[in-house]
Amino acid sequence: DAGVIQSPRHEVTEMGQEVTLRCKPISGHNSLFWYRQTMMRGLELLIYFNNNVPIDDSGMPEDRFSAKMPNASFSTLKIQPSEPRDSAVYFCASRPGRPNEKLFFGSGTQLSVL
C-alpha cells in the first residue's frame, strides 16, 4: 500500500488565488482528517469525514475554506480566496472506521501564499 497520498507537495500562490489540495486515503479506511500545521498553533484539526460524510467542520477557520469527499478514495480541501496567513503545512490523514486507532498521515502539502 502506498499510504495516504497528498498532492501537490508544495504550492506557491499569490494572495487572492484559489488553492486546491488533494488527498487519497488508504484503501479501506473509512475516516479521513484534514489538519493544518503551523509553528504557532501546532496541528489543528480542520475537518473530518466518516464514510465520505463530513462529521465535524468546527475547525475550519472561515468560509474561505471548504472540503469535499465525493467518494471513498478522494478528498479535496479548497481555499478561495487564499491569504498569506493561510501559509502552513496541510496534512491529510486516514484510519480504519474504528475509533481510537492509529492515524496514518500523508506527506503533507507545504502551502505558501505570497
Partner 1 sequence: GENVEQHPSTLSVQEGDSAVIKCTYSDSASNYFPWYKQELGKRPQLIIDIRSNVGEKKDQRIAVTLNKTAKHFSLHITETQPEDSAVYFCAANFGNEKLTFGTGTRLTIIP
> Where does this chain bind partner 1 (CB under 8 A)?
31, 33, 35, 41-45, 48, 50, 55-56, 91, 99-100, 102-103, 105-108
First to last CA, the chain: 36
Distance CA 35, CA 81 (A): 19
Closest approach, Cβ 64 to partner 1, in A, equals 22
Question: 15 vs 55, which CB is nearer to partner 1?
Answer: 55
Closest approach, Cβ 67 to partner 1, in A, equals 15
Would you give the DSSP letter of residue 61? -
Distance CA 71, CA 11 (A): 24
Question: 15 vs 43, which CB is nearer to partner 1?
Answer: 43
Closest approach, Cβ 113 to partner 1, in A, equals 20
Burial of 55 by CB count in 10 Å (0-12 exposed, 13-18 middle, 19+ buried)? Answer: exposed
Question: 15 vs 59, which CB is nearer to partner 1?
Answer: 59
